Structure 1
Amino acid sequence: MSQIIIAIVLSFGISYFSTPLAIKLAHKIGAIDIPKDDRRVHKEPIPRLGGIAIFLGFFITSIFIVHIDKQIIGILLGSLVIVGMGIIDDLNEIGAKTKLLGQLIAAGIVVSCGVRVEWVTNPFTQSGITQLSLILSVPVTIFWIVGITNTVNLIDGLDGLAAGVSAIAAITLAFVAFVNDQQTSAVLLVCLAGSAIGFLPYNFNPAKIFMGDTGSLFLGYILAVVSIQGAIKSAAALAIFIPILALGIPIFDTTFAIIRRKLSGRPIMQADKGHLHHRLLSKGLSQRKTVLILYGISLFLGISAVLISESNFFESTIILILDALFIYYGIVRLKLLSPEDSELK
């Protein structure tokens, strides 16, 4: 427990005090987000590269606190690839294929260092688990890492949204990892939460700096990788749903976006204004209220994830049914699958 307290305090402090330096650096090298279309909510140029502060808080704290082994080296090396690519993208936007290649390289580094989804709990088998062969383990792991990395990147549309939701998800997954004796995973996730929270005072509306792709890709990458080590490998009856619920906001928002674009016959990579935060803004809510509502939803799903980690199969099923009804209500209420209000670029 003392390790976790030190981790969150140190990561918070490093992120908080390095963010003003990131603001100065962004201005100096021209990493400024200039609103070019109506999808951007801000109206004035805002410096980005805030993700550097989040990365430093996590990276430095992890090196000092976590026992460094092959898997940790893989995670840190992969994060360097992600952050390096994010910095380049924040300076001069790079293509989607180039970003995907960078994400695949980062995921490949982690997998080669032994971080893989090797088994999942299965209450319908006698042993309670299903072992994945190497042929399945590697692609499933890479798909999870690349997928989550991009989902967090896609929700980074309002001041403080990605940082706050990621912090809630990290704390949720840290709790699950801690109660399952996954000490290293818990500490890494706490480092990430502390770094994201340390950045929030500068990023919450009205934002003084954006995290940019440097931050959103990094947050998604670490959440994806560390959840493999912690939540997915927990002994809960329906453990596979723990990270899905903890990361519910980015996962469901991205899923709805893909379905919505498919139904309207548009390319799934074509941006629109149909995301959760856009829908709430269209209801007349302010940026702050919208972000706080999404924090609340993220917290609700996070609590569900924690309850599942402590429940048997029957209890977990009841929780999932209630969550499904809640999500269905949101889909209907906000018309998340309807293209009608989606103003495309």
Structure 2
Amino acid sequence: MPSSLLAFIISLVIVLLIMPMVIKFAVKTDAMDAPDKRKVHCHPVPRLGGLGIYIGFLMTVLILSFTTDIAAEHGMDLAGLLIGGTFIVVVGIIDDYKNLPAKVKLIGQIAAACILVSFDVRIDFVTNPFGDWIFLEYLSVPATVFWIVGLTNTVNLIDGLDGLAAGVSTIASITLLLVGYQQGDAFIVFITASLVGSSLGFLKYNFNPARIFMGDTGSMFLGFILAGVSIIGVVKSATTIALIVPILALGLPILDTTFAIIRRYRSGVPIFKPDKGHLHHRLLDLGFTQRQAVLLMYVFSSFLGLSAIALTQVSEYAGVIIVLFILLVIIYGARKIGIFHPKNNIHT
């Protein structure tokens, strides 16, 4: 049996088995998400589900690392992902209990990114569509930290409906898995297969009506691992569209975060100020149910993922046309549902 398929099965089974225990632990230790004006649930829900995702992923990777040659060939990358991922999980657990200030949480995210960078996981160059590579040199570390922290937060911010962040992360993981398979990168396929299994196992308990939320523990962990995987894999690929692939794979949370920044800036409020103008809020305002809104966002995320895979199979000119078409669709759709409208800045 291929190690990637085995990784998927093991991580899926582990999470399915341990999640009931995580739910009981969260309830017993009062790790509960209380409803408020911005949230759509009406009663307290446990919010430590990310711990189950992390345990399933970690156990799978450790088990198979000792039984295959993965650790020997990719020891530094693997150590960086696991140690940095563990650090971000600790930050998430503290936040799920104590509601850390945004600045403190940001410092924790930067620290986790620096851990990954210290294991030589970094963006050394980007490809120039009009010529050769652009080596970042002294900008390599800050660019890598910005990338990791940015993607960590995009997944964190989209976690607003039952099953949304877990499902979108699963789709993004599958996209990176398929691109890694196309490139013959067994390590990326293995890591993403483990992530897919863990996310799907959690989704059984998180899809509407959710029995548990992933909390910042899960959303930051998923964003961190996806950011790291994209650097180790496709971003370092010497192809013109290398940087575009992970951006499209995680296109939905990236777009939601970008729209939020634009919307809040235009309204003259701090960009970290919460509002009810996120994509999922707008879909609910338009009359969609939670399930309908989540499924619609799954479809759009899948469309972006398929577009990312398509970019690896077409010429540069065709790739530019695909990207421009996607941008036009996004801008039109965003304006149509009023995503930039100032009235969506309803603060708490």
TM bin, normalised by shorter chain, reads: over 0.9
Q: How big is each residue's C-alpha offset from its partner over 1:118-176, in whole Å with a ceiling of 9 and x where there is no partner? A: 12222322xx422221x111000000000100110000000000000000001101111
Residue number in structure 2 paired with 1:121: 127
| Match of residue 130 from structure 1 | 134
Say yes or no: does 1:278 pair with 2:281.
Answer: yes
Q: CA–CA distance in 2 between the matches of 1:99 and 1:237?
A: 34
Are positions 1:59 and 2:62 aligned together? no
Residue identity matched to 2:37: D
1:311 pairs with 2:317: no
Equivalent residue for 1:19? 19
| Residues 1:242 and 2:245 aligned together | yes
Q: Distance in 1 between matches of 2:315 and 2:240?
A: 6
Local SS of the residue matching 1:94: coil
- 2:340 is matched with 337
SS of 1:232's equivalent? helix
Name the TM-score, length of structure 2 as normaliser.
0.96
Q: How much does 1:312 deviate?
A: 1.6
Q: Hey, what's the Cα distance between the residues in 2 that align with 1:63 and 1:331?
A: 42
CA apart distance, 1:282? 0.1
Aligned partners of 2:239 and 2:16: how far apart in 1?
A: 36
**Count of equivalent residues:** 341
How many Å separate the matches in 1 of 2:156 and 2:293?
18
**Structure 2: stretches of 5+ with no match in the other structure:** none
1:318 counterpart letter in structure 2 = I
Deviation at 1:181, TM superposition (A): 2.1
Q: Deviations over 1:283-304 (max 9, x none)?
A: 0100000000000000000000
Aligned residue among 95, 99, 102 for 2:101: 95
Structure 2 match to 1:41: 40
Q: Is the 8 A contact 2:77 2:232 kept in 1?
A: no
SS in 2 for 1:105: helix
Question: Partners in 2 of 1:201 and 1:158 — Cα distance?
Answer: 14
Cα distance per residue 1:6-60 (max 9 Å; x no partner) = 111111111111111110100111101111x211100011111000110011111
Q: Tell me, in whole angstroms, the C-alpha distance in 1 between the residues paired with 2:57 and 2:286.
A: 36
SS of match in other structure, 2:236: coil
Give a deviation string over 1:311-341, Cα, whole Å, max 9, x none: 2211101110111111012111111111123
Q: Tell me, which stretches of 5 or more residues in structure 1 are unaligned?
A: none
Paired with 2:267 and 2:103, the residues of 1 have a C-alpha distance of 24
The residue aligned with 2:81 is: 75
Q: 2:181 aligns with which of 169, 178, 182?
A: 178
Is the CA contact (8 Å cut-off) linking 1:122 and 1:238 kept in structure 2? no
Q: Is the 2:54–2:221 contact (alpha carbons within 8 Å) kept by the matching residues of 1?
A: yes
- How far apart, in 2, do the equivalents of 1:65 and 1:117 lie? 27
The answer for the alignment partner of 1:5 in structure 2 is: 5
Amino acid across the alignment from 1:98: V
TM-score normalised by the chain length of structure 1: 0.96
What secondary structure, in the 3-state scheme, does the structure 2 residue paired with 1:171 have?
A: helix
Give the percent of matched residue pairs that are identical in Structure 1 and Structure 2.
51
CA contact (8 A) 1:23 1:47 kept: yes
**Structure 2 residue aligned with 1:168:** 171
For residues 151-300 of structure 1, the aligned pairs below 5 Å read 151-300=154-303
